[in-house]
Structure formats: structure tokens, C-alpha cells
Chain A
Amino acid sequence: MRRSLWALAVLATISAPAQAASTIWDLLPGRTAAEQPRGYVEQACGTNGGPPAEFINGFEAFSQCAAEPSGLHEVYFRYDDEAAIRHDALGLPTDAMAGATRVYGMGAILSALFDDAGLLRGLRIVSDPRGAEAHVRNDHWRLAGLLQEHFGAEDWACSDTEPSAREKAVSSYFVRRNCSKETLEYGLTSSQDYFHKSGEQFVDEFGKVQATYFVSTSRFEILWKDGARSE
């Protein structure tokens, strides 16, 4: 009974909306790599939330990726946007929600975390600065906040770090916030950064605008606990 409740609870947070391309919300925690939905492409060994390393043949080849210290194997993946591109090329109305690998409209590097048995145990979501215009990247620090709210705004334990000598606020605001939340079903960690590094400012000493001189990142991890399994 308890196991069933867990499963229902997990399904309540990670459901499967009917969209053309699969998204992170379609993944099936506790299920094997082979049972995961289709609609993801370019699986590769992950680099702790960074760009892909060696490409592998789907989630099923997870064991080709070395285990992290946690014992989990990180598999990078991307949404399959081929249908959206083809649709667009034909001039047909395109669902703006489909296509690019975005979470809450922000480019994201996604990794699925599998245990040695090939069960999906975690998900890593890191804001992706590649190709993002400055005004879009400017909001990337909020991605983790949106994900926090997705899992319920309550019961987060957060700590804010003061700026170091090499960091300063972007205008009035400095964000270096780490948060975590534990439930019976999962453990969540979140980090947000938004600041200028040493020497960075939007208007340099020559009066020239430097639009890209700022740090704005989010990192969010979901680790499902033993017993969490989608039905």
C-alpha cells in the first residue's frame, strides 16, 4: 500500500503530458532505461551537468558511462526536436511549447542518472548558456527557483553565501543560494548564482557596454529514493 502511495506521489510530480516531444516530465522514475519513453536523442555520457562526452546508443547503454561517486551513471540527453523543425520548415503552425531542450522556456543541459541495475534514480537539470542571448541568460538563475516551486515552495532549507572579494552584485542584487529538501520520495538540491565576477561590469572602464559580463546559472537535482517507481 505504502509503495503504491509513493508511486502515486511520484506520478503527481512527474506526469506525462501529451506533447509531441518527450520532456523531463515524461521520465519514469524507478523504471529501467529500456522502459523510458522514446522522444529523447543524442544520449551521451554526462559531465556533471556540462556538455556531452562520448555519445552512446540510448539510455540502455548507460553502463558505458563511468559511475559518479554516488554510484549513479550520468546520461546526457536532449529533446527530439526533429518534428518541430520539420513542421516549421513546412510553414505549418508550430506549437511553441515543443522542440528545443528547454525547461520553463530556458535552455537546459539534462542528465538522467541510472543506478547499476539500470533504474532511473535521478535527474540533473543545469541551465545551458550555449547560444543564449544575454537577456535570456539573465533569467537563468531563476530556473532553479521555478523548479523549487514545482516541488512545493514549502520546507526548503536554504543558505545564502556572501560575495567573496572576487564577486560583486549585479546592480543591487547578489544571488548565491543553495537549497535542499528531503521528502519520503526524493531528495532535492538546488543552487542559483547571479553576480559579476572580478573585473566584470556592464559598462567597462572605456564606457563600452559589455552585455555578457555576468554569471547567471541554475543547477537542480532530483534523487528518487528506493521504492519510488512510476506505475
Chain B
Amino acid sequence: MLQAIRTLALASALLWSGASASAPADGDWVTSMGDLAATRYSPLDDIDRSNVGRLRTLYSVVLGGAVEGGGNVRGALPYNLLVRDGYLYAVDGWGAVNKLDLRNKGKPVWRADAGQRNLDTWLQAHKGLALHEGYVISGGADGALLWIDDATGMLVRTVSAGDPLDGYSLSAPPLVVGGKVLVAGSGPDRGGPLQFDAFDAASGEHLWRADLGDARGLRGSVLQAASYDASSGTLYWGVAMPTGPLPDEERDIWFGNGVVALDVADGTVKWQHRYEEGTSGATNEAGPYHVVGAEGGGPLLGHFDNEGRYRVFNAGDGAEAVVAPLFAEGAEGNCANVRAAAAFNSALSLRTGLVYGANAGGCLQGHLPIKTPSRGDWLGAYYRDADNALGILTAADAATGEVRAQHVFDFPLHAGATATAGGLVFVTTAEGTLHALDDESLEPLWSNHFGSLSSAPPLVFSVDGRQFVAVVVGGNALAGEISYRPPELGMSEGLMVLVVLGIPEAAP
């Protein structure tokens, strides 16, 4: 099984090599999910179980932006950081794209704010970036794709993918595959058209738009970049329902919660799967779909759903192979715990063959006594759904969903997980603590509290052969949903800070 997963990852890497003029080095992080198969897995292993206890903050960089801004800026954290050739790319809280020099303690190289001036209220939480040769490609919430010159930060080209007056928005990061920029537009809760488009990454020319087979045009929300199976040339996008109520007769116009498989060559729909409606009324299945190798068969798609289950599909035809409950029987109702926001990215370790679901804890529904690290004793009260304020990390077999380990945190995991070849899983809890855990037992090995909220997934990369871990703290769009606010959650600075950590070098 493990060999199959490694093989698939290699196939993805090979395709990337063929698609881009400069193949990414092992230590780069060039897509929002780390690679085309959407694994959030780093092959770096210099930081491992034996030395992670020595991880220290090396430097920090203030990123612009505000937690409490207009529109959706509160959710505009730089979730989707990218690293290439020693430079880090981040969208800040003002919507501007930043290039930082990682060889010079994150010194700004340029900041591009064209198209996103004055706290753009069209900004969505999941805005992200893609890299292609000499361009940084930014997806704007107003439906525009921006080509920014990597060397100068100057805006080179703007291409509109849809009309924002129709509610259209690019709410998911773009993905570059084989010279194509793949984008999904939707406009979560604005009723924008559900569109999947491809543009030429070099010229901006529109190449195709997928026909979803409904002349009326479908609606739905897409919050993640596609994942990609190089062996079949297939793109996979998760789709979500809006949060608002719909008239019954409109329900078939909305795609619903599901996943779409498209041919990267021409956008042909290979298959689509729609989930039955969830029980919570908040079901959202736009989270990541990991491309998982399968022993003796074609690849699989693995997905943590929003009802406390791990689902496995046959990537070739969309047949559902596994629906594995992750939590005790009877705990699934009203259990929107595996959130599908971009910050809730799950990870697939190519080392262990396990997937890691970072949850917000609703599946342990109940009335729990409140305890926190600041007050180890019972605080004298039970809170209904207070357990929603806990975080649960689940490690499960990527092909079968068999749960191997779970770890409960005092605070929600409003950020995703990142796995490494060093035998580690990194997660960030909402109050601003970065944790490193054993990737098999989920035993906590190290943590550090940064003193402010966080909902950005950890990033692992290397520069000139040295491994680093980075996290952004300074805001959490979901903090308002936390039912209990102990002192650790009291701080919510309107300042976003990139913190870079590593193992300190020995003194000469």
C-alpha cells in the first residue's frame, strides 16, 4: 500500500516536472495543498521525532491586514502560503500579494496590491496563489485572475473568469497543471454560477469551461484548489451547498454537496458524485480530496466528510468504496466537525499511508465540564456543545478509513494538518499553538503558543537544504464560533505575523 502511494506521488511529481519550466525542489511548497495530489505532505525529514523538541522561533515577519475589516476580511488570513526557490508568497489581510526573501529573514521583496486596494470587501477567505514560470497568479474574489511578474511584482495581465455582479467569485486558489491555470468559481452564498475553467498559464487565453450538463446553470461553492491524478489526467473539485436556506424547487439548481471529476485536457466531466443531504443543515463537502494510490487497482480519492466519516471513492468512476465512521456510533448527528474551509485541510502522509483529519470536535457531542491548560480543574460549569471548542486529530488508513489514532486538543483545530517524512504531523490549534505529533501514535512531541489566534495551516519547506516550519498567527475568522473563551483565547490582534521556526544551528 505504502509503495503504491509513493508511486502515485512520484507520478504527480513527474507530471509537475513536465508541466513547469523549473521543476520545484523537494523543499518547495508550490501549490496550496503542497502538491498536485493534494497531500499536504512534505518529503523533508531533517526535523524529525528525535529533534523536534529543539524547534525554536527563528524570526517573524509582520504581514499587512486587519482581523476586523469590511466584508470578509476577518477571514482573509493568508492560508495558502507558497514557497519557491527561497522565496515565500503570501496574500496578506489587505488582499495584497507579498514576496518575502527567506534567505534574508523574510525581508519583503515586493508587495503587489493591484486589484485589491482599500480593503476589498470582495475578498474571500480562501484566496490563494499559483506559480507558473515567471508569474505569480492570484485569484481575486471579484472573479479576476491576476498575473504578477515574479521578479518585479508588477501586474502583467488581468483576465476575468466571471461577472461578479452575478455573484461570481474566485473563492478557491488556482492550480497550474501542464501549462493550464485551473480555477473554480462559485461565490459562496452569493448564488454565483458554478464554473470550472481553464486558462493558458502563459497567455491567459481561455481554454475550456466544463459543461455540467444542466442548461439552467448550476450553483455551488468551491473552496479548495483541485486535486489532480496525473495517471488519468483528472481534476477533482469538491462542491458545497450554501449556508442559507433554499426553496425546495431550487434545490436541483444547486449542485449540492459533492465532487466533480474533469478531464484536464478539455474539461469533459468524467463523473460527478452528489452526497445525500446532511442532517446538520450545514454539510459542506468542499474540503480536500486526496489522490491515494491503491494496491492492485486504480487510484482512490480520500475525503474527510463533514459528518464525522472518511469516504473513499474509486477515482476512475466515482464509485464510493468506503464510508468509514471516525467516531463512536450515535455521535454523528449534528456533527459538522470536519470543517471544509480551506483552513481545515487534511493531509495524506506518503510515509505512513495515513490521512490526518483536523477536526473542530463536534463529533464528541455532549455536555462536558470545562477544563483548560490555564485551569486544570473543573471550572464549575457545563456548556452545551462546549465540546465544539475542542479539537480532534484523527489518523486513519488512507484506503480503508480504519482509525489508527486520535488525539483531543483543548482548542479547536481551525487549521489543517501537515505531514512530513520526518515522522511528524503539524497542526495549529485556534488559540495560536503549533503542535508537532508522532505521525503514527499522534503522541504530542512538542508545542509552542504564539500568544494570538491562528487558523492558518502549518507550512513546511526548506531553503538551501535547511528545513523550516512556518505558521501565520494573528487572527481567526472562526473564533466567534467558539462557545467558551478562556484566557488563552482572549487575544485577537489585528496584526498578522508570519512566524518561521527551525532547529537552531550550532554555534561555530
Chain A residues with CB under 8 Å of chain B are 12-13, 15, 17, 19, 23, 25, 91, 93-98, 102-106, 134-135, 138-139, 142, 145-146, 149-150, 153, 170-173, 175, 177, 201-203, 209-214
Contacts and interface: CB of A to CB of B under 8 A. Distances in A.
Nearest to A135: B72
A106 B70 contact: no
Interface residues of B, number: 46
A142 B74 contact: no
A172 B70 contact: no
Interface string B72-83: 111100000000
Interface of B: 66, 68-75, 115-122, 142, 164-167, 187, 189-191, 217, 242-250, 279-282, 333-334, 367, 384-385, 494
Nearest to B71: A138
A105 to B, nearest CB: 2
Contacts of A211: 68-71, 73
A201 B281 CA distance: 36
A171 B116 contact: yes
A102 B119 contact: no
Given A91-B367, A175-B165, A202-B119, A17 B69 contact: no
Contacts of B242: 104-105
Given A102-B245, A170-B121, A202 B70 contact: yes
Contacts of A104: 189, 191, 242, 244-246
The majority secondary structure among interface residues of chain B is loop
> Main secondary structure on chain A at its contact with chain B?
loop
B70 A96 contact: no
Contacts of A145: 165-167, 190-191
A95 B281 contact: yes
10 shortest interchain CB distances as A-B pairs: A105-B244, A96-B281, A202-B119, A17-B248, A93-B334, A97-B245, A171-B120, A146-B191, A138-B71, A202-B70
B119 A93 contact: no
B200 to A, nearest CB: 24
B380 to A, nearest CB: 19
A131 B120 CA distance: 22
A150 B66 contact: no
A210 B73 CA distance: 12
A36 to B, nearest CB: 17
B410 to A, nearest CB: 22
Contacts of B249: 12-13, 15
A211 B116 CA distance: 16
A96 B118 contact: no
Contacts of A210: 70
* Highest count of chain A CB atoms <10 Å: which of B190, B217, B242, B250: B190
Given A96-B282, A209-B66, A203 B247 contact: no
Contacts of B247: 15, 17, 23, 25, 150
Contacts of B73: 135, 211
B190 A139 contact: yes
Contact of B142 (A98, A153, A172): A172
Contacts of B281: 94-97
